[in-house]
Chains A and B, each alone.
Chain A
Amino acid sequence: MADRRLHGLGLAALAAAAAFLAIGLKGNIAFVLELRLLKLAALVQVGVAIAVSTVIFQTVTGNRILTPSIMGLDALYLFGQMLLVFLLGGVGYVTLDPQLKFGLEVVLLMGLACALLLPMLRSRLDMGLMLLAGVVFGVLFRSLQSLLARLIDPNEFAVVQSASFANFNAVRTDLLVFAAIVTVVALIIAWRARHVLDVISLGPDAAMGLGVSWAGTVTGLLLLVSALVAVSTALVGPVAFFGLLVAALAERIVNSRRHAVLLPAAGLTGIVVLVGGQTLFQHALGNATALGVVIEFVGGLIFLLLLVLGSRK
């Protein structure tokens, strides 16, 4: 049954991609197609990266209403953008070599994840403490960011602001190849770890009893999550609830928490929601509103729904 639904999801993702490419195709077809293909590749990458990173993060933390943004990674990203503008000025920021900037961002975000994880490894802190540390870091970076926002020129502030909100219309296609390499490598690792992830979901004691070295595996997985988050944030900007929405949907659709099914299901759901939604907004609704806003709105509702349902149990 789960396999059939997975095939269904695959078809839906293909249909969404085809619609995205084909609808309203006119003028210089080769040129438009090339443009759309690039954008499609970016959207697919972002959808899959966020979906898979959220599923892994939820498994590792044993909590189905968390998303990686709780670790303060998005906040650090935004703070980094603000700091760059502050130090280099708006013009300097815009003329930075995008590949170099992107590479540094990924490394920096993974570095922060390491900084949060190493104490956990050394003293075997529990997951709750680490998440709290992440929340506190997030607040710190957000506060620093708003402090800098007050210090800079209003014109330059506009430059940062455009980088601070998820924007699926203006995807950074110039980063695509580099991002694709990171995403594909991360996805291969995640897929190979699917059985280990199943065991991790049993909790630390049971997993260790079954021969999984907990601290090392969890650290590796969280680094993987931060690499995926870094990629998607750099491509489209921070999203909070998209991952939650997709992971919850995927789990309902395949009705399983086994990662051999759930990981592909979440990735495909991510593609359907993102590419399908973008097609809908571009052609049916004439770009009346931003997809990012709607996804965050629906994701937020799902979050509340999960909270209410969870508390009733």
Chain B
Amino acid sequence: MIRIENVSFKHRATPILSDISLDIPKGGVVALIGPNGAGKSTLLSLVARLQPLQAGVISVDGLPVDTTPSRDLAKVLAILRQDTTIASRLRVRELVGFGRFPHGRGRLTQEDDAIVDAAVAQFDLTDLSDRFIETLSGGQRQRALVAMAFAQDTDYLLLDEPLNNLDMYYARALMRSLRSVADANGKTVVIVLHDINQASAHADRIVAMKSGRIIADGTPGEILTPDMLDTVFGFRMRVETIEGKPFALHQL
């Protein structure tokens, strides 16, 4: 379980997060939604100890993120940040192989190789596996990065806008992969999404943030209502139910 208690965060004098408390039990897909600047990415990076905690406590499976050795945490929790740029000259398979680093400190066993191959195959990267990262398109690179996070094979997977640069086909494929690892392997996926319909179609729970606070938390059915979406995003939109799932027509 990820437990976030009374977390506040300031960038210089600007408050980014104010007194956030949130429990995310093990298993399932949780979507974080909210307008730009709501603090979603900051919250995710605090959980993944990429930034130091200023106030409050965060623990993952009982391990406090600020005092647990980074190496131990990397076996429990993987994060993919938004706009990750890889400066190094690497082939796709090498990059995905880095996901195994926390387990073998750089030495790949046969088991590691099998996991890497599976991640490469799962994200349709087999044909690209010998290509250099810098020769890939934005979407292909994004898939390689997600595959690396998958290969880390942790119980908790934090993804910050992983659908960036992905076309419809791969966005859907990624969401389905997340769904299946959550269902079949009991993994916990926390994902920042801008497309609330993807959240509705694939997440168990939606947490809505605005101005550094959590303003709504519930099932897709509870969050995707015209009133609630108005409070979160600041305009009214139609919500239609298709196959029992609510979808917001925010383009109209």
Q: Determine the chain B residues whose CB is within 8 A of the CB of A199 once the complex forms.
A: 98, 101, 106
B89 contacts partner chain A, Cβ-Cβ < 8 Å: yes
Q: Is there a chain B Cβ closer than 8 Å to A211's Cβ?
A: yes
| Partner of A211 from B72, B87, B89, B90 at Cβ < 8 Å | B72
Report if A206 contacts B (CB, 8 A): yes
Q: Does A62 contact B (CB under 8 A)?
A: yes
Asked if A210 and B98 make an inter-chain contact with CB atoms under 8 angstroms apart, the answer reads yes
Q: Which residue of A lies closest to B86 (CB)?
A: A202
Q: Report A20-55 CB contacts with B as 1/0, cut-off 8 Å.
A: 000000000000000000000000000000000000
Q: Which residues of A contact B85 (CB under 8 A)?
A: 203
Do A213 and B70 have beta carbons less than 8 Å apart? yes
Contacts of B94 in A (CB 8 A): 258
- Would you give the shortest CB distance from A313 to chain B, in whole angstroms? 8
When each residue 77-117 of chain B gets 1 if its CB lies under 8 Å from chain A and 0 otherwise, what string results? Answer: 01111001111111000110011011001110000000000
B151 CB → nearest A CB, Å: 11
- Which residues of A in the span 188-242 have a Cβ within 8 Å of any Cβ on B? 194-196, 198-199, 201-206, 208-213
Residue among A195, A213, A251, A256 making CB contact with B106, cutoff 8 Å: A195
| Cα(A203)–Cα(B73), bound, Å | 18
Query: Do A195 and B87 touch (CB < 8 A)?
Result: no
CB neighbours of A198 from chain B (8 A): 88, 98, 106
Docked-complex contact B98 and A211, CB < 8 angstroms: no
Is B87 a contact of A201 with CB atoms below 8 Å? yes
Known A-B contacts A195-B101, A198-B98; the reply to A209 vs B86 at CB < 8 A is no
Say if the beta carbon of B120 comes within 8 Å of chain A.
Answer: no
Verify B74–A201 contact, CB threshold 8 A: no
Q: Most chain-B CB neighbours within 10 Å: which of A194, A198, A210? A: A210
Contacts of B52 in A (CB 8 A): 124
Contacts of B90 in A (CB 8 A): 257
**Could you say which residues of chain A place their CB within 8 Å of the CB of B78?**
209
Check B176 for interface membership: any CB of A closer than 8 A: no
Chain A contact residue count (CB 8 A cutoff): 23
Q: How many angstroms from the CA of A209 to the CA of B77 in the assembled complex?
A: 8
CA distance in complex: A258, B95 (Å): 11
Q: Given A210-B98, A211-B72, A258-B94 in contact, is the A195-B84 Cβ separation under 8 Å?
A: no
- A211 with B102: CB separation less than 8 A: yes
A208 engages B87 (CB within 8 Å): no
| Cα A290 to Cα B43 with chains together (Å) | 58
Q: How far is the CA of A257 from the CA of B87 in the complex (A)?
A: 11
Is B71 within 8 A of A202, CB to CB? no
Judge whether A257 and B88 touch: CB under 8 Å: yes
Give the shortest distance, in Å, between A312 (CB) and chain B (any CB): 14
Q: Is the CB of B106 within 8 A of A194?
A: yes
Is B229 close to A, CB under 8 A? no
Closest to B149 in A: A209
A to B CB contacts below 8 Å, 23 in the list = A195-B107, A196-B105, A199-B98, A201-B88, A203-B84, A203-B86, A203-B87, A205-B79, A205-B81, A206-B84, A206-B98, A208-B48, A208-B50, A209-B80, A209-B81, A210-B74, A210-B98, A210-B101, A211-B69, A211-B71, A211-B73, A257-B90, A258-B94
Using a CB–CB distance below 8 Å, which chain A residues touch chain B? 62, 124, 194-196, 198-199, 201-206, 208-213, 251, 256-258
B interface residue numbers (CB < 8 A to A)? 45, 48-50, 52, 69-75, 78-81, 84-90, 94-95, 98-99, 101-102, 105-107, 149, 152
Q: What 6 A-B pairs are tightest by C-beta distance, nearest first?
A: A195-B106, A211-B74, A201-B88, A211-B71, A211-B102, A209-B79
Beyond the given A194-B106, A195-B107, A198-B88, could you list 9 further A-B residue pairs with CB under 8 A, ordered by the A residue number?
A: A195-B106, A199-B106, A203-B85, A210-B99, A210-B101, A211-B70, A212-B70, A212-B71, A258-B94
